């Protein structure tokens, strides 16, 4: 409990620092930050639950909870946001019938939102799962198509590690074709694997609203840092 209070204090101090910093930047980059829309993508939804934890917790719910908190945090920082989904739905076309068709249509519609949202950066929220339950911690993946994607991934990874997960030594990773939205993105695009549903301690924390807020704050601070540089 004391640790989480301390962490919140650290987060708040960092926020004040970042806010002060954001006021101190040149008007050009401040304007640039104001023009950007962060398109927040809560992974999966509806028929597509994503990964499932041993206790039955579905990834899609944690993704949406963290995405909504991220929306709030960015809003408080004066950064414009949009969401690919705001409830437990798959955003497929009504013509899609099978689960496969729904998943394909859903991913195409998310891509279309990315393409249609002017001057946006794309931040997708997911949870990891692996056969080795020892693996834990946040890792950010980035689109291979723009150098800005790697820069954005790095500021988010650094922010999470510095503020929340000092023991996390993971490095950002370039997306292969298995992450469709990043692989084909033509805009700055990252995917945050917040933690591992297959790790007991990560799962406990990822289901905790206080931890979700801390994580959302760290991601938001990383985005703010990216926009200011
Ligand atoms: Zn996922």
Rounded to the nearest angstrom, the distance between the alpha carbon of 45 and the centre of ligand 1 is 10
100-117: per-residue pLDDT in tens? 999 999 999 999 999 999
pTM greater than 0.85 = yes
Alpha-carbon distances, residue 106 vs 9, 83, 111 (angstroms):
39, 14, 9
The confidence score (pLDDT) of residue 1 equals 46
The confidence score (pLDDT) of residue 23 equals 41
Looking at the DSSP bridge assignments, the partners of residue 189 are 122
- pLDDT band for position 26 (cuts 50, 70, 90): very low
176-196: per-residue pLDDT in tens? 999 999 999 999 999 999 999
Rounded to the nearest angstrom, the distance between the alpha carbon of 51 and the centre of ligand 1 is 6
Domains and CATH numbers, the chain: 2-227 (3.40.630.40)
Rounded to the nearest angstrom, the distance between the alpha carbon of 30 and the centre of ligand 1 is 33
Mean pLDDT in residue range 199-214: 98
Q: How many CA atoms lie within 13 A of 108 on its CB side?
A: 9
Rounded to the nearest angstrom, the distance between the alpha carbon of 33 and the centre of ligand 1 is 28
- pLDDT band for position 8 (cuts 50, 70, 90): low
31-79: per-residue pLDDT in tens? 656 699 999 999 999 999 999 999 999 999 999 999 999 999 999 999 9
Q: Please name the residues in contact with 175: beta carbons below 8 A apart, sequence gap of 6 or more.
A: 141, 142, 143, 144, 182, 183, 191
């Amino acid at each position: 409990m004391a640790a989480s209070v301390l962490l919140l204090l650290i987060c708040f101090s960092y926020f004040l620092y970042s806010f002060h910093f954001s006021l101190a930047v040149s008007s050009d980059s401040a304007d640039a930050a104001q023009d950007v829309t962060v398109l927040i993508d809560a992974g999966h939804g509806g028929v597509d639950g994503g990964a499932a934890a041993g206790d039955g917790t579905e990834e899609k719910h944690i993704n949406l909870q963290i995405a909504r908190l991220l929306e709030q945090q960015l809003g408080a920082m004066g950064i414009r946001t949009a969401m690919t989904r705001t409830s437990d739905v798959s955003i497929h076309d009504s013509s899609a019938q099978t689960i496969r068709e729904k998943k394909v249509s859903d991913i195409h519609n998310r891509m279309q939102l990315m393409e249609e949202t002017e001057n946006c950066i794309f931040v997708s929220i997911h949870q990891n799962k692996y056969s080795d339950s020892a693996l834990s911690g946040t890792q950010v993946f980035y689109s291979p198509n723009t150098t800005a994607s790697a820069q954005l991934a790095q500021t988010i990874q650094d922010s999470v590690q510095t503020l929340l997960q000092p023991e996390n030594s993971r490095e950002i990773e370039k997306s292969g074709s298995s992450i469709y939205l990043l692989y084909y993105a033509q805009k700055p695009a990252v995917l945050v694997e917040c933690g591992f549903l297959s790790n007991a301690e990560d799962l406990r924390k990822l289901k905790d609203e206080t931890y979700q807020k801390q994580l959302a704050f760290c991601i938001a601070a990383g985005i703010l840092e990216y926009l200011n540089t």
